[in-house]
Amino acid sequence: MTATHLLGIRHHGPGSARAVAARLAELEPDVVLIEGPPEADVLVELTEDPAMAPPVALLAYATDDVSRAAFWPFAVFSPEWQALTYAREAGIPVRFCDLPAANTFAAGPDELAGPPVDPLALLASAGGYDDPERWWDDVVESRRDSENPFDVIADAMTAVREDEEPPQGSEARREAYMRSVLRRTRKDGFENIAVVCGAWHVPALADPLPPASHDQAVLKGLPKRKVACTWVPWTHGRLATASGYGAGVRSPGWYHHLFTTAEDVTARWLTGVAGVLREEDLPVSTAHVIEAVRLAEALATLRGRSSAGLAEVTEATRSVLCGGDEVQVELVTRRLVVGERLGEVPDRVPQPPLAADLTATAKRLRLKKDPVVKELDLDLRTPGGLDRSKLLHRLRILGIEWGSREASARRNKGTFRETWALAWEPSFEVDLVAAAVYGTTVPSAATAAVRGTVEGTPPLDEVTTAVENCLLADLPEALPEALAALDARAAADADVARLMSALPALARATRYGNVRGTDTGALRAVADRMLDRICAGLPPAAHGIDDDAAARLAALVDGVHDATSLLDDAAKERWLAALARLAERPSLPPLLAGRLTRILHDSGLLDALDIELRLGRALTPGITPSAGAAYVEGFFDGGALLLVHDEGLLRVIDAWLAGIPPEVFTEVLPLLRRTFGAFSGPEKRAIGHRAAGLTGPARLAPVADELDEDRAERVLPVLATLLGVGA
């Protein structure tokens, strides 16, 4: 006599997992059927490897379109994982019984849709709960007894489905396939069958089953697609609902604690919370922990719960351990409630060649795939630092952002040091499969990706970025093609702004090449030709532009000026000569004119007298105050120390400010505030002290007996606003 036992579960939960393990031990089935893609049947034996440590996930993807991919995650507290563990230890077969991924990926993304209603919400509402998560946690997940809940779950789901329309579309096909697997298992001679599936599907699999012909008609003619399947590491963070995972839970870290802790659950949890806070140098004592445990247990008693749940321990954490600080509570939630655990899979798990090459390279370079963001400081003068940098840059070319560049804490302006923030995401496994179209190793794939970028007529900035990437990632085979494309695009591009935007990356690339031992002769030649075109095209580009365009051009001028310092002296001389010629043009927008004057002064081409004369001309009464303010903004964008050290400049600015007519002062004030407000506090104070000591005709110095106290008081708020200091 065949017996089929339906164990309806939620996909992740300690109570469900504990109940499944206890029920299977009681039933001693001949075979276990688990909701999941049948393509993974051949991968079940890999769970026997001691190196397999959850959380992990089954990854299935269409081999001809990697965008069609799906994950089936498992944590240690997942009922399906406990079913796999039981079957492995009992030596009985396991079969996955959901609709094959081959059909799902061929039919459309709707195949991954869930039930048409939220059964937990309906049951929670019937039980007087407004939160389905809290209801399920109370009645199932927080239970620590081994009582069989599956009959009650089956009855509840049957009642919910009685009022619903028969399933259609993807749900109908999934349940038809599950029944077909159940019939086939019975036909294979298994008499004691356990089925672990989502609670929603239990009524559809209960006897009596509909005729086989009915399910065959539902499944007839389903399209198929070639699919590959493997195991990949997963994280607790990706199990969380907040990550966008449809079957996720709010608190993977808490659920893991409930499942793996046999005694003193509350005390051990709050001790862990204290450890997290102490790692951040926050004052948490043993007395705090004791008081928090007492509060959590008291809350549970008041609420009629047998033990403290997540709500109680969180309130105790907030009140006692964090002192009401929500930032600290958020830290605990991120570190513990959700958690940062990363699973592991054995080396013998099948991987695409590109993923296998990355795994081997990362192991050789001692780069661990860790979901927690960690800073990595690399010295490119060492072989290990250089090789790690190349790998991370190659992965970025492939769209795999394992590392992101950060500003170095050492504030080193050279190119011998790089600082990265590393954090591994499980979704990168899919990105690796997608990038496999470029090659079977990371270097070859990155080379092919760069070549693909520079083919045809891509925008100049994309080609420039590709050249920079070639040097950063050490891709010598792609560099000649990228340089040829860059030279061609730069020669054909008449837009000076685009040329100016592209040059800084090339200048940086020449420095990268020096550090990385790459010949950058051809790159310097391209940069020189581009600089010549910029110098020739700059005057027309600056003619007849409005204030906004002048601000953008000034920013581009700054970028090119910094870039020329990375090239040779001849390039810098040509650039400064072009700026000097441009600065003599009378029709320049005042902001750009001021910026050019400052650059020429900082480069030693204009002395203090020249600056006073130019500022004096720009700030004469014949020039509108708004134009003068724009000139001042452009000039002092490089810093305010000139006003501190050069009394002549300070006198010019002081006299100009004093001479602005009252009726236009309020119009000019926002421009002045933007300029002077950008100065640092010490700079403002130093300027104020110097201005207070000015004497002479350029400064208004009323005689004491002629001082009007009321009028003077009215001036003070304006001056305070202008200088950015307190009144």
3-state secondary structure 483-494: HHHHHHHHHHCC
C-alpha distances in Å from residue 126, one per residue of 95, 250, 487, 719? 35, 22, 71, 68
What whole-number distance in Å separates Cα of residue 112 and Cα of residue 246?
Answer: 10
697 CB neighbour count, 10 Å cutoff: 8
Residue indicated by tokens 């690399």: 378
Dihedral of CA 334/337/338/344: which sign? positive
Residue indicated by tokens 């969180």: 314
What whole-number distance in Å separates Cα of residue 377 and Cα of residue 421?
Answer: 9
Q: Is 219 exposed, middle or buried (0-12, 13-18, 19+ CB in 10 A)?
A: middle
Residue indicated by tokens 């310092």: 565
Give the pLDDT of residue 702.
Answer: 39
What whole-number distance in Å separates Cα of residue 593 and Cα of residue 584?
Answer: 9
Grouping H, G, I as helix, E, B as strand and the rest as coil, residue 3 is strand
Q: HSE on the CB side for 268, CA within 13 Å?
A: 11
151 touches 203 (CB < 8 A): no
488 CB neighbour count, 10 Å cutoff: 13
Give the pLDDT of residue 629.
Answer: 81
Give the pLDDT of residue 168.
Answer: 80
Residue indicated by tokens 């170095």: 408
How far is residue 19 CA from its own chain's centroid?
Answer: 37
Give the pLDDT of residue 402.
Answer: 94
Backbone angles phi, psi at 3, to 5 degrees: -120, 130
Bridge partners of residue 62, in order along the sequence: 65, 227
What whole-number distance in Å separates Cα of residue 727 and Cα of residue 723?
Answer: 10
Nearest to 617 by CA among 595, 641, 640, 590: 590
392 touches 37 (CB < 8 A): no
Backbone angles phi, psi at 96, to 5 degrees: -85, 140
**Helix, strand, coil percent content, the chain, rounded in steps of 5:** 60, 10, 30
Grouping H, G, I as helix, E, B as strand and the rest as coil, residue 156 is helix
Token pair in block for residue 361: 């390279």
Farthest-apart Cα atoms in the chain, separation? 118
What whole-number distance in Å separates Cα of residue 394 and Cα of residue 401?
Answer: 10
Cβ-based neighbours of 469, under 8 Å, separated by 6 or more? 393, 396, 397, 446, 450, 475
Q: HSE on the CB side for 329, CA within 13 Å?
A: 15
**E strands, 125-283, in order:** 192-198, 227-233
Give the pLDDT of residue 699.
Answer: 41
C-alpha distances in Å from residue 154, one per residue of 6, 77, 157, 160? 8, 21, 5, 10
692 CB neighbour count, 10 Å cutoff: 7
What whole-number distance in Å separates Cα of residue 692 and Cα of residue 257?
Answer: 67
614 touches 606 (CB < 8 A): yes
Residue indicated by tokens 């948490």: 284
If residue 406 lies in a helix (H) or strand (E), which one and from where to where? Answer: strand 403-406
7 touches 17 (CB < 8 A): no
Cβ-based neighbours of 712, under 8 Å, separated by 6 or more? none
Give the pLDDT of residue 628.
Answer: 80
Give the pLDDT of residue 563.
Answer: 86
How far is residue 234 CA from its own chain's centroid?
Answer: 17
Grouping H, G, I as helix, E, B as strand and the rest as coil, residue 393 is helix
Give the pLDDT of residue 618.
Answer: 77
Peptide bond into 132 cis (omega under 30): no
Grouping H, G, I as helix, E, B as strand and the rest as coil, residue 439 is coil
Residue indicated by tokens 């810098």: 572
Residue indicated by tokens 């050069």: 646
460 CB neighbour count, 10 Å cutoff: 20
Q: Which residues of 195-216 are buried (b: 16+ CB within 10 A; e: fewer)?
A: bbbbbbbbbbbeeebeeeeebe
Give the pLDDT of residue 461.
Answer: 80
Token pair in block for residue 25: 């031990």
What whole-number distance in Å separates Cα of residue 321 and Cα of residue 324?
Answer: 8
What whole-number distance in Å separates Cα of residue 331 and Cα of residue 372?
Answer: 13
Token pair in block for residue 3: 């017996």
What whole-number distance in Å separates Cα of residue 150 and Cα of residue 27?
Answer: 13
266 touches 272 (CB < 8 A): no
Q: Is 688 exposed, middle or buried (0-12, 13-18, 19+ CB in 10 A)?
A: middle
What whole-number distance in Å separates Cα of residue 447 and Cα of residue 478?
Answer: 6
C-alpha distances in Å from residue 544, one per residue of 445, 453, 548, 549, 581? 47, 36, 12, 10, 17
Backbone angles phi, psi at 321, to 5 degrees: -85, -30
What whole-number distance in Å separates Cα of residue 718 and Cα of residue 697?
Answer: 22
What whole-number distance in Å separates Cα of residue 469 and Cα of residue 492?
Answer: 22
Give all strands of the β-sheet with 374-379 in edge-to-edge order. Answer: 374-379, 417-422, 403-406
Enumerate residue ranges in the chain where pLDDT < 50.
110-112, 411-413, 697-704
36 touches 98 (CB < 8 A): yes
